[in-house]
Structure 1
Amino acid sequence: MKNILVLCTGNSARSQMAHGYLQHFAGERAQVYSAGVAPHGVNPLAIQVMGEDGIDISHHTSNHADEYTSLPLDYVITVCDNAREQCPFFPSTAKKVHQSFTDPSHAPGDDRLAQFRAVRDEIKAYSQQFIEENVTSQAAHA
């Protein structure tokens, strides 16, 4: 089983959505975690748009990246440039992957829900491809 950690700045939207989709696509083949370098709670709009696609992240918590430094990780995925720059040191052989997504919480009020949906869809496509390439195909070759 692979251990995957997704990082962003606040662990409120992008990393939470990626956490939900990566776990969904990986199933029992991976354990997914998410954290931030400055966590500030799960964004209600992230919960809403994920629920619209059948993924429940309402039970997720917003955690600090330091909580996972001793976990044996296979992958650390940063989903924003700030988290990549501030990524804490993980004393492991974890492969570091960076895929930046626009922060939907910075969209103007009238466009915020549409931006959350657009970023959700980008994260969904990325997550499915990531699992296929890094978890599913490796499991077939193991």
Structure 2
Amino acid sequence: MKRKVLFICTANSARSLMAEALLRHMAGDQFEVASAGTQPKEPNPLALRVLAEAGISTEELHSKSLAHFRNEPWDYVITLCDKAATDCVAFREGAQQIAWDFPDPAVSNRRATFALTLKELKERIGLFTLVHQKGTALRPEDYNPVTIFKALGDELRLAALLLIRDQTRLCVCELTEAFGLSQPKVSRHLAILRDAGLVETERRGQWVYYYLNPRLPAWISRVVDETARNNGALIETPLVQLQAMSERPAVQCP
């Protein structure tokens, strides 16, 4: 039986529509997919254009209200912006909720921005399908080395993983301070690490903490440990920035 995936953003005119079309194109044999908006608008012509240019079908692709799917069961509910993550509480029961955060390309109204969003969505959805095609609890034999090294192939993601390893667990606000980057950008990279099975999360009050997946296969643990031992310079500056924080949530938590 196909697992059901619902993508949600505010307008359901660009990000979630593109995600719907992408997942259907990439793994329609594994997933039943739809998208919706908390405040739906008409499909953005540039979103449809970049999909068509990429050879992805836009047939029957249209904006839909979140209310349309309210009584349907879902295996995964994936929000694509912070507002949607807040507004779709009704879908949390019985579904695995995954929060991604992609900037709205409609703000710029430029084809190049839509094309970049499509590229980033394709990468994220590719990781999602690899990780979730056999279930959410990965066994050691389920880890694909291509997925792992792709996730670690970005300097920021690698440094974030090493910093989390060094500090045991960190929340997003600590990582944004350590790297001097915006919360949405850091969250997007952390989501890729999580989707690859490298880190897990735990909520403590208002904070969500990231920590190394304790069930990592031995070969991945060795790669991470050896990288940390031989590349300390990668986290020297982030460590200084982190230690300079005036208030660290981790210190306040038991």
Same fold (TM over 0.5): yes
- For the pair shown, the structure with the greater C-alpha radius of gyration is 2
Alpha-carbon shift at residue 88 of structure 1 (Å): 4.4
* Residue segments in structure 1 that go unaligned for 5+ positions in a row: none
What SS class does the counterpart of residue 57 from structure 2 fall into? coil
* Residue segments in structure 2 that go unaligned for 5+ positions in a row: 140-254
TM-score under structure 1 length normalisation = 0.89
Q: Deviations over 1:66-115 (max 9, x none)?
A: 111111100000001111121240274100001111110001x5xx1110
Q: For residues 83 and 68 of structure 1, what CA distance do their matches in structure 2 show?
A: 14
CA spacing shift, 1:63–1:121, aligned 2, 3 Å: same
Q: CA RMSD in A?
A: 1.7
What SS class does the counterpart of residue 89 from structure 1 fall into? helix
Alpha-carbon shift at residue 59 of structure 1 (Å): 2.1
Alignment map for 1:108-119 (pairs within 5 Å): 109=109, 112-119=110-117
> Counterpart in 1 of 2:124?
126
Alpha-carbon shift at residue 58 of structure 1 (Å): 4.3
Aligned pair count? 136
> Counterpart in 1 of 2:31?
30
> Counterpart in 2 of 1:70?
71
Q: Sequence identity of aligned pairs in percent?
A: 36
Which of the pair has the greater relative contact order for Cα pairs under 8 Å at 6+ separation? 1
TM-score under structure 2 length normalisation = 0.51
Q: What amino acid is aligned across from residue 61 of structure 1 in structure 2?
A: H
What SS class does the counterpart of residue 102 from structure 1 fall into? coil
> Counterpart in 1 of 2:4?
3
Q: For residues 123 and 91 of structure 1, what CA distance do their matches in structure 2 show?
A: 22
Structure 1 window deviating more from structure 2 (31-40 vs 64-73): it is 64-73
Alignment map for 1:77-88 (pairs within 5 Å): 77-88=78-89
| Aligned residues of 2:38 and 2:65 also touching (Cα < 8 A) | yes
> Counterpart in 2 of 1:137?
134
Q: Structure 1 stretches (4+) deviating beyond 4 angstroms?
A: none
Alignment map for 1:35-46 (pairs within 5 Å): 35-46=36-47
| Aligned residues of 2:76 and 2:95 also touching (Cα < 8 A) | yes
